[in-house]
Amino acid sequence: MAEKRILILLKRWKGGVGAYTKNVSKELTKLGWKVKVVSREEDLKINSLAKSITAIRNLLKNEDFDIIYTQDWSLAFPLLFPTPLLEKKHFSCFHGQSTSFISKTLQRIVGNTMGRKVIVVGSQLSKIFSNSNLIFEGVNTKLFKPLNKNRTGIGFANFKNEIYNFNLIQKACDELGETLFIAEGLNEKQMNEFYNKIETFISLPPTYTGFGLVWLEAMAAGVPKVIGSNSGVGNKLPIEKVKGFNPADESKYSEQEKLEFLKKAITNAKKKDYKKWLKDNKFTWEEHAKKLNNIFRKTL
| 71 SS3 class | strand
Considering the domain 4-138+284-299 in this protein, what is its CATH number? 3.40.50.2000
* pLDDT for 1: 52
Cβ-in-10-Å burial (0-12, 13-18, 19+) of 266 comes to buried
Measured distance CA(164)–CA(157) in Å, rounded: 10
Distances (CA, A) of 152 to 31, 124, 167: 41, 33, 21
Query: Is residue 32 a contact partner of residue 22, using CB atoms and an 8 Å limit?
Result: no
Please, which residues bridge with residue 7 across strands? 36, 68
Considering the domain 154-280 in this protein, what is its CATH number? 3.40.50.2000
Which amino acid type is present at position 24?
A: V
* pLDDT for 151: 96
Q: What secondary structure does DSSP assign to 89-155, as a single string?
A: GEEEEE-S---SHHHHHHHHHHHHHHGGGEEE-SHHHHHHSTTSEE------TTTS--------SEE
* pLDDT for 163: 81
Distances (CA, A) of 11 to 39, 74, 124: 5, 8, 22
- Alpha carbon 166 to its chain centroid, in Å, reads 19
pLDDT tens per residue across span 63-85? 899 999 999 999 999 999 888 88
* pLDDT for 25: 98
Domain ranges of the chain: 4-138+284-299, 154-280
pLDDT tens for the chain, 300 residues long, are 578 999 999 999 988 899 999 999 999 999 999 999 999 999 999 999 999 999 999 998 888 999 999 999 999 999 998 888 888 899 999 999 988 999 999 999 999 999 999 999 988 899 999 999 999 999 999 999 999 999 999 999 987 777 889 999 999 999 999 999 999 888 889 999 999 999 999 999 987 878 999 999 999 999 999 999 998 899 999 999 999 998 878 889 999 999 999 999 999 999 999 988 998 999 999 999 999 999 999 988
Please list, in sequence order, all residues whose beta carbon lies within 8 angstroms of the beta carbon of residue 102, skipping any fewer than 6 positions away. Answer: none
Query: Is residue 273 a contact partner of residue 280, using CB atoms and an 8 Å limit?
Result: no
* pLDDT for 188: 87
Same fold: 4-138+284-299 with 154-280: yes
pLDDT tens per residue across span 261-299? 999 999 999 999 998 899 899 999 999 999 999 999 998
